[in-house]
Structure 1
Amino acid sequence: VMLDTGATTVVARSLLQMSLEDYERHFDSLNSELGGGSVVSERSASGTFNGEEEKLHYIPIRILGRGAFGEATLYRRTEDNSLVVWKEVDLNSLSEKERRDVMNEISILSILEHNNIIAYFNHFMDKNTLLIELEYCNGGNLYDKINQQRGKLFTEEVVIWYLYQIASAVAHIHKAGILHRDIKTLNIFLTKTDLIKLGDYGLAKKLDSEFSMAETCVGTPYYMSPELCQGSKYNFKSDIWAMGCVLFEVLTLTRTFDATNPLNLCVKIVQGNWTMEVNSDVYSSELIKMVYECLDQDPAKRPTADQLLDRPCISCYRQELEERVALLNSAMKRPKLSTVTETPVAVVTTRSREVYFWGGGKFTPQKLDTFKGGSSAQHVCAGESHFAVVTVEKELYTWANVQGGAKMVGQLGHGDQASYRQPKKVEKLQGKAIRQVACGADFTACVSDEDLMYMFGSDYYGCIGVEGEFGMEILEPVLLEFFEERPVRQVSCGDNHVVVLTQSGEIFSWGCGEYGRLGLECEDDFSSPMQVEIPKGATISSVTCGSDGTFFLTDTGKVLACGNNEFNKLGLNQGISGLKNHTGEGYQGIPYITTLTLVKQLSRFKIQVIAPGKTHTAAIDERGRLITFGCNKYGQLGVKDFKKHQGVQVLVGPFGGKIVTKVSCGDDFTIAATEDNQIFAWGNAGNGRLGMPADKGFGSEVCPAMPRPIFGSLHHVPDLSCRGWHTIIIMEKVLNSKTIRSNSSGVSVGSGKYFTLVIDTL
C-alpha cells in the first residue's frame, strides 16, 4: 500500500479548530504572495479561466489502498505517461466542519513545495467525491522498508540518508508554521531510489508562531508524545518526538514503545520506557544521542529539525546529501502542472491493456497473463532469443523465446542460464525505476529514471561495455560506470552492437564494428563506449540500431545512417555521387558506410520514426505516412509485388488516408498500427511471423505483399517490437470514459467562497 488510506479516513474525522477567519487571512496572504488579486472575477460563467478549458487524461492502473471514506488509486496521465495517486474523500459522509478539514489538507498541500514532501498537483470533484491528485512514490513506505529488512540492521550511512531527508521535510513544514501531527513510518513514502517523501497532512494544523500551542489529541498512539498522552498543550516539538520514534524504528527495526492496550502504551511513553536499546556496536554514539534527544520527556530539551541538520554527522555531508536529493528528484518523471489557474477537466478512461507475442512456430498470438493492473506493460522489446517488458511501475521482466531448452547466456538477467518460458521480474534491478529496455541478439540493455544504464548477457563482441569483462557471460545486470557522468537519454541494440544517445546530445557506440555499423570510420570492434562524431549542425533526437547498421534521427526529421547497406536497406543507393560497384544484387550501390551519412532519399520527408529489420526498413513521417525500402523478396515492402525496388516507397493501398502510429520490421516481414486502431501485417508468413493461423491458408508458403489486417477487433497499440521471426505487442481497448468537471459547491461552506479561494491560490 503506497498511501496510508487509514489517514484518509482521518482527513474527514480530524478535529482541527481553525476558524473561517483564519482561512480568510491565510488565503489572502497566499494570494498576495503569488502576486494575485481576486481571480474569481476573471472567470467566465462556464467556469473556465478566460474562456479556456484544459483537459487532462487519466487511465486507472490499480487501487493502492482503501479507507472508510474512500480509496487511493494509481493513475497514469496519458499526456506525459507520469504516474499519480488520486486520494478519494467521500463528502456525503462528512459534516460541514469535516469538509473544512478536507479543505485544510488541500490548502496545506498547496503551500508545501519541497523535494522530500509529497507534491500536490490538482483536485477534482466527481459528484460528491473529492479527488486529490498527489505525487506517487513507487518504493512503498518506510514501514514496509523496515519489515523487509528481516532483522538485518540498516547501515549508518543509510540511516543518516533517511534522517537527513526526514529532518529536511520536517524543518520545511515547521518553517511554514505547520504542525504535521501524524509523522509515522506509514506516512513516510519512498521511491525506488530511496528518496523519501513525507505525506498525509489530514491531521496537520497551522500554528501562528513557533510558540503557539495546539490542544486537540490526535495522531497515531505509537508515536504520541508524552505531552499528548497527558492531555497537555503541545507544539512543533511533538513532531520531533514522533520523528525520534521513527528513527528509533529505523535503528532497531522495532517499535519505540509497545503495549497490549492504549493505557499501558501511554504509561510507557510518559515513563520513557522504550522497548530496547540502540546497538552501540553498529551505530555511532553521536547518532544514538540524536535519537534519544528527540525522545526527551521535556519538549523544550528536544532539538528542532534545523538543529538536527546542523549536527556534525549530517552537516559534514550536507552538500553531498542535498545534491543527491536534487539529482534523484530531477530524474523522476513528474506530471506537468496545469497551465490554467482553474482546476482542469479530468477525462478518466478505463482501458484493458494486454500483451501478445507470436512467431517462431507460434502461428496465433499468445496472450501473457502476467501483465495486468500495476504490472501492465508500458514498453516492449524483442531480441533474437528473448523478450523484455517494462511495466507502468518501471519494473523489468524478461523471458526466453527459443525452441526447446536452449541455455541462455545471461540475456535474461536472472543470475543463471535457465530458459524461463514465462515472464520473470529481474530481481537484481529491484529498487531501480527502469524506463527503457533494448535487446540485442543475446544481451540486454536498460535505462533507469536516473539516466543510468545497466547491461547483461553475452559479452562475446564486447557489447556489455564493462572493462575487464570482454568475452564473458554476464548473468546479472551491471551498471555501466562510464555513463554515471554522462546521463543516458536512450539506448538501442543491434544484433551485436550498442548505440547510446546521452542527455547532452552525444553519441557513443561499441560492440561489433563490421560494415562500419558503429559510425567510427572503421570496422574495428570496441568493448567500451566510443564517441561518434556527429556531422556539424546536426542535433540527434534518437538512435535506432538495425541488425548490422544504425540510423540517427535528427530534430529536423532528417535521417543519417551507417553500416551494411545490402539490399539498399539503409536507403543510401540513390542520390549519392561516386557510387561503388556492388555485385551482390547486380546493381550499382554503396555496400556499406562507416561514417554517418545523410539518407538523401528520405530528405523530402520529415521522419518521426525509423524501424530497421534484417533486410528492409520502414519509416513514418510527420504526416503519419508509411515509407519502406530495402529487400522485397517476400513482399515485406508492402507494395503489391515481390520485385526489387531501389527507391523508397510511400505505402498507399490500405494505408491511404490513414495515420500510421507504430511500425516494426522483422527478418522478412512488417507489422504496423494506425491511429484508427487497426493492426496490419505483411511479408513472409512462415513460422507464424504474421500472427495468422496456418490452417486458414497462412502457412510458410504464403507471403502477402499487401498489408493485411490482423486481430479482428480494433486495438490501440502503445508499443510494438519485432526481431528475427518474433513479434511482441501491447494492445489496448477502451472500456469506458467519463469527464469530471469540478463543481466547487460540492465542498463549499455556505456560499462556496472559501473553497473557490483554495483553487485560486494553487
Structure 2
Amino acid sequence: HNKSERQTGFREQERSSRRADSLRLRTVRGAMSLEEYERHYGSLNSDFGGGGGGTSEEEKLHYIPIRILGRGAFGEATLYRRTEDNSLVVWKEVDLNCLSDKERRDVMNEISILSILQHNNIIAYFNHFMDKDTLLIELEYCNGGNLYDKINQQKGKLFTEEVVIWYLYQIASAVAHIHKAGILHRDIKTLNIFLTKTNLIKLGDYGLAKKLDSQFSMAETCVGTPYYMSPELCQGVKYNFKSDIWAMGCVLFELLTLTRTFDATNPLNLCVKIVQGNWTMEVNSDVYSSELIKLVYECLDQLLVCALTDSFPSRFREIEDKVELLNSANKKPRLSTVTESPVAVVTTRSREVYFWGGGKFTPQKLDAFKGGCSAQQVCAGETHFAVVTVEKELYTWSVQGGAKMVGQLGHGDQASYRQPRRVERLQGKAIQQVACGADFTACVTDEDQLYMFGSDYYGCIGVDNELGTEVLVPVLLDFFQERPVRQVSCGDNHVAVLTQDGDVFSWGCGEHGRLGLDSEDDYAYPMQVTVPKGATITSVHCGSDGTFFLTESGKVLACGNNEINKLGLNQGISGIMNHSGEGVPYTTSLTLVKQLARYKIRSIAPGKTHTAAIDERGRLLTFGCNKYGQLGVRDFKKHTGVNLLVGPFGGKVVTKVSCGDGFTIAATEDNQIFAWGNAGNGRLGMPADKGFGSEVCPALPRPIFGSLHHVPDLSCRGWHTILIVEKVLNSKTIRSNSSGLSIGSGLGQGSTSTIDLEMDQAFETGLRDGGSGGTMEAETEDRGLETPMMSVENKTDDNSCPFWLRKVSNLCVTPERI
C-alpha cells in the first residue's frame, strides 16, 4: 500500500514537472495569455521563485504601465491601468539609493499622511510596494492637469465668479479636512492643486506636510515655495495652520487676477513685499462681488475661520452636493481587503490598433495609438472609425477618402479626415464607451452622460430635430441627465440605450420594429422599451435593422427584421425535410430567441445578414445567412437553426467576435485571430495575391495575422474591421514589503476617497533640503523663482516600461521573473 502511494506520488510529481515545463515553453513562445499563465501558475508549487506565502492568503492586483508622466531627481511617475477595475492610477517610483536619510523620512511621511486622509478633494493613496531599492507608491490619477496650467490657459481672460467659487469651495474643503486631522500642508500652491476632466479639485503633494499635536502647536522649519510663504515664515518665527490659510489666499488671488499675489526678482525683495502686504494688483471689483474680494483679503490677513460658510452658505451647499455626485460617478480602484499585503503583478504589453477592408487586403497599423494614446475600445461605422484611448479621449476618422461627412466625426465640419483626430469638442470629458451608426456617433462619459453627433435624418441624434439634419459637434442629450447611461449601441439608423437603473430606451428609424416599441414608427426622441416581466437587461446590441437584448440569466430577446433568420426567431427543426417551421419575418416587440435558450449567452454580435454569439463556456454560435460561408460551417448552404462551431474552435475559448457584411472575425483565449466568409474588398485581412479575392470565400475559420496576439476589442461593420492587438512583453510580481522602513500605523488602510483620473506631480526640480533652521525650498527658473512642475509634458517618454522594470534585460516572460 505504501509502495503504491509512493508510486502515485512520483507520478503526480512527474506530471507536475511536465506541466511546469509545458507552461514555461508556452509562455516563452507567447502562446499563453497572462491570465491563463497566472491561473496555472497559482496552482503549481512555489518552485518558480514565487517566494513566501501561499496564493490563497495573497490578493493579486494586476497593473499595466501606460506611459511615463515625468521624471525627477529620485525616480519617475508612471501611469498604470489597474486591470481589476480598469481604473488608471499613478505610481511614484522612488529610488531609495539616491535619497538621504531625511529625504527617506520625507517620502515615508508623505505615505503616512496620505494613508490617513480620506476626502473627495484630496489625492487618494491606495497602496505601496517595494521592489528591492525602489519604493512604489500607488496614488490617484488626475487627467485634467493642475491649477497652474488652468490659470495660464485663460490667456488673460478672467474666470467667472461661479468658477472661482467652485474651485474655492473644494480647495477650502480639502484644507479644512487636513487641518482637522492635525496636519499642516506647508506647500499649498497652484502647482499642487490638481484637476480632473470634470473640474474636480484634488489637493496633493504632502512631502512637506507635518502633523501637529494640536491646533495650538507651532512648527519652526522654514519650508515651502517662496511665492506662497506667510509673513511668519519670511520672518523665521513659529507658525501654525494659519500659514496654509495664507497660501490658500494667494491661490485665490491668482484665480481672481491671473497673476501672482506677490512678485519680485529675488527672494529678499519677495519676503519684504510679503511682510508688508504689498500685493501686485487689486482685484477687479467690476467683475467680482464684494463678498468674494473680502474673502481674499481675510485669507491674507489670516482671519479666515468661519468666513467661507458665512459668505456663500447657499451656494456652498449646492457645490457640496455636486462634488459628491461627481466623485460618486467615478471609478474607484479596488483596495486590498485581506490582512496580508497585496501582490502587484506588473505586465508590460505592446498594444496596437489595426484595420482592414474597403480595398485594404492586409492589416494596416495605426501609429497614432501608442503610449498614453493606446486604445481601450474601438468601433467601426459604415463610413468612419472611432477609438477610445486608455486616458478616455475620443478619436474619429473617415474610412472613405474624399467622401463628404455629415458630422459623424464630431470635428465641427464636413471634412473627411483620413488620420485619427481627437474630438476636441469633448475636451474635459472622460469617454468610457463609443458606438457608431452608419453616419452618426454616440458616446458615454464617466459621468454616465450621453453625447451624440452626425446625421439626424432618422432622428438618431435624439434631440427631436432641434438642430437640423446634420449635427457637426457633440451634443449632450438632456433626456439622460436624470437617467445615468450604462451602455449605448447603434444600428445603421437607430439607437438603443441601457441606463444604470436597468431601463431601456430606443429611437431612430422604426422600420421592421427594430426599436421594440410595438410599432414601425420612427422616433426622434428616446422612448422607453417595455421589457418582459422578470427579465433584467444587462446589455443591448443593435444590428443593421434589428436589436438584441441580453438578460442577466443569459437569455436573448430580439426585435426587428428576421430576414434569413438573422435574429434566430424561426422555429425550424434542422435535419427533417419539409419541417422548416413557420418563419418569422419581423417582430416589433421583445421576443425570446428560443433557439439560444439552451445556452447562457455572454455576448452577441449582429452583422448585416447573420449573427454570432458566445456562451459562458466560450463556445461560438452562428445563425442567419450563409451565402458566403459566414456561418463557418464548411458549406454555403442555408441553415435554419443555430450552429455550434467546432472544427477549428474545438476546445478553444472564444473571447471576441464581430460580424460584418458577409464575413466574421473572432479571437480566442489562446491568442489566435480567425476570419471567414466573403473575402471581397479585403474584408478578411488576407492578401489578394494569395487568392483571397472576391471570388474566394473561406467557409471555415482561418487564422490570420501570422503571429499570436491577444485581442482586447474588435469591431466590424460593412466591409471594414478594426481591432486592438497586444502582446505580453514582460511581467514581474512584487510583494508589498516595506523592507524595514517604518511609515507609521496608518498604512495599509488605504484611502477610500473616490477616484477620478488625476495626476500627482510630486517630482520637482527645486531644492528641498529643509533641515532645522531657516532653510527654504527654492525653485528657480529663468523668468522667476519657480519651476512649474507641469513641465513634465516635455519629459514624457513613449516607452511605457518603468525604469525599475526595464532592469530586466530579456523581455520574454519567464517563470523565474514572475
TM-score by length of 1: 0.90
Do 1:462 and 1:470's aligned partners in 2 also have CA atoms closer than 8 Å?
A: no
Aligned to 1:320: 318
Q: Distance in 2 between matches of 1:199 and 1:128?
A: 24
* Equivalence map 1:119-268=2 (5 Å): 119-268=124-273
Tell me how far 1:228 sits from its aligned partner.
0.4
C-alpha change, 1:256 and 1:50, in structure 2 (3 Å) is same
Aligned to 2:309: 310
Q: Distance in 2 between matches of 1:132 and 1:48?
A: 23
C-alpha change, 1:194 and 1:761, in structure 2 (3 Å) is closer
Do 1:454 and 1:479's aligned partners in 2 also have CA atoms closer than 8 Å?
A: yes
Aligned to 1:356: 354
- 2:108 is equivalent to residue 99 of structure 1: no
Aligned to 2:702: 708
- Opposite residue 476 of structure 2, the aligned amino acid is L
- Opposite residue 371 of structure 1, the aligned amino acid is F
Query: What number of residue pairs does the alignment pair up?
Result: 697
CA-to-partner distance for each residue in 1:50-82, whole Å, 9 max, x for gaps? 960111111111111111111111000111110
Aligned to 1:5: none
* Equivalence map 1:383-462=2 (5 Å): 383-402=381-400, 404-462=401-459
Q: Distance in 2 between matches of 1:137 and 1:739?
A: 26
- 2:640 is equivalent to residue 646 of structure 1: yes
Aligned to 1:736: 730
- Opposite residue 388 of structure 1, the aligned amino acid is A
Q: Distance in 1 between matches of 2:747 and 2:594?
A: 53
- 2:712 is equivalent to residue 718 of structure 1: yes
Q: Distance in 1 between matches of 2:468 and 2:697?
A: 39
Q: Distance in 2 between matches of 1:434 and 1:188?
A: 23
Aligned to 2:278: 273
Do 2:507 and 2:524's aligned partners in 1 also have CA atoms closer than 8 Å?
A: yes
Q: Distance in 2 between matches of 1:152 and 1:326?
A: 29
CA-to-partner distance for each residue in 1:667-701, whole Å, 9 max, x for gaps? 10000001111000000000000011101111111
Do 1:342 and 1:759's aligned partners in 2 also have CA atoms closer than 8 Å?
A: no
- Opposite residue 620 of structure 1, the aligned amino acid is I
Q: Distance in 1 between matches of 2:606 and 2:317?
A: 46
Tell me how far 1:343 sits from its aligned partner.
2.6
Equivalent of residue 670 in structure 2, options 650, 654, 676: 676
Do 1:75 and 1:84's aligned partners in 2 also have CA atoms closer than 8 Å?
A: yes
Q: Distance in 1 between matches of 2:270 and 2:424?
A: 39
Structure 2 portions without partners, runs of 5+? 1-49, 751-818
Aligned to 1:501: 498
C-alpha change, 1:755 and 1:159, in structure 2 (3 Å) is closer
C-alpha change, 1:308 and 1:116, in structure 2 (3 Å) is farther
Tell me how far 1:470 sits from its aligned partner.
6.8
Q: Distance in 2 between matches of 1:50 and 1:392?
A: 30
Q: Distance in 2 between matches of 1:349 and 1:692?
A: 31
Aligned to 1:108: 113
Aligned to 2:609: 615
CA-to-partner distance for each residue in 1:313-348, whole Å, 9 max, x for gaps? 2x1122211111011101112211112133311111
* Equivalence map 1:631-642=2 (5 Å): 631-642=625-636
Q: Distance in 2 between matches of 1:717 and 1:600?
A: 30
Do 1:744 and 1:756's aligned partners in 2 also have CA atoms closer than 8 Å?
A: no
- Opposite residue 367 of structure 2, the aligned amino acid is D
Aligned to 2:754: none
C-alpha change, 1:392 and 1:695, in structure 2 (3 Å) is same
* Equivalence map 1:502-521=2 (5 Å): 502-521=499-518
Q: Distance in 1 between matches of 2:436 and 2:57?
A: 44
Aligned Cα RMSD in Å? 1.7
- 2:364 is equivalent to residue 366 of structure 1: yes
SS state of the match for residue 259, structure 1? coil
CA-to-partner distance for each residue in 1:278-326, whole Å, 9 max, x for gaps? 1111111110110111112xx4xx213xx2431332x112221111101
- 2:603 is equivalent to residue 602 of structure 1: no
Aligned to 1:492: 489
Aligned to 2:784: none
Do 1:507 and 1:532's aligned partners in 2 also have CA atoms closer than 8 Å?
A: yes
- Opposite residue 350 of structure 1, the aligned amino acid is T
Aligned to 2:297: 292
C-alpha change, 1:471 and 1:294, in structure 2 (3 Å) is closer
Q: Distance in 2 between matches of 1:417 and 1:334?
A: 38
Aligned to 1:377: 375
C-alpha change, 1:357 and 1:50, in structure 2 (3 Å) is closer
Do 1:122 and 1:343's aligned partners in 2 also have CA atoms closer than 8 Å?
A: no
Aligned residues with identical type, % of pairs: 84
Q: Distance in 2 between matches of 1:180 and 1:321?
A: 24
- Opposite residue 465 of structure 1, the aligned amino acid is G
Aligned to 2:541: 544
Tell me how far 1:93 sits from its aligned partner.
2.3
Q: Distance in 1 between matches of 2:668 and 2:744?
A: 43
- Opposite residue 434 of structure 1, the aligned amino acid is I
Tell me how far 1:742 sits from its aligned partner.
2.9
SS state of the match for residue 642, structure 2? strand
SS state of the match for residue 90, structure 2? strand
Q: Distance in 2 between matches of 1:115 and 1:48?
A: 36
- Opposite residue 303 of structure 1, the aligned amino acid is L
Tell me how far 1:642 sits from its aligned partner.
0.4
Aligned to 2:338: 340
Do 1:497 and 1:510's aligned partners in 2 also have CA atoms closer than 8 Å?
A: yes
Aligned to 1:14: none
Aligned to 2:656: 662
Do 1:49 and 1:340's aligned partners in 2 also have CA atoms closer than 8 Å?
A: no
Q: Distance in 2 between matches of 1:308 and 1:732?
A: 55
Q: Distance in 2 between matches of 1:708 and 1:87?
A: 45
Do 2:130 and 2:735's aligned partners in 1 also have CA atoms closer than 8 Å?
A: yes
Tell me how far 1:46 sits from its aligned partner.
7.2
TM-score by length of 2: 0.83
C-alpha change, 1:170 and 1:587, in structure 2 (3 Å) is same
- Opposite residue 310 of structure 1, the aligned amino acid is T
SS state of the match for residue 451, structure 1? coil
Tell me how far 1:587 sits from its aligned partner.
7.4
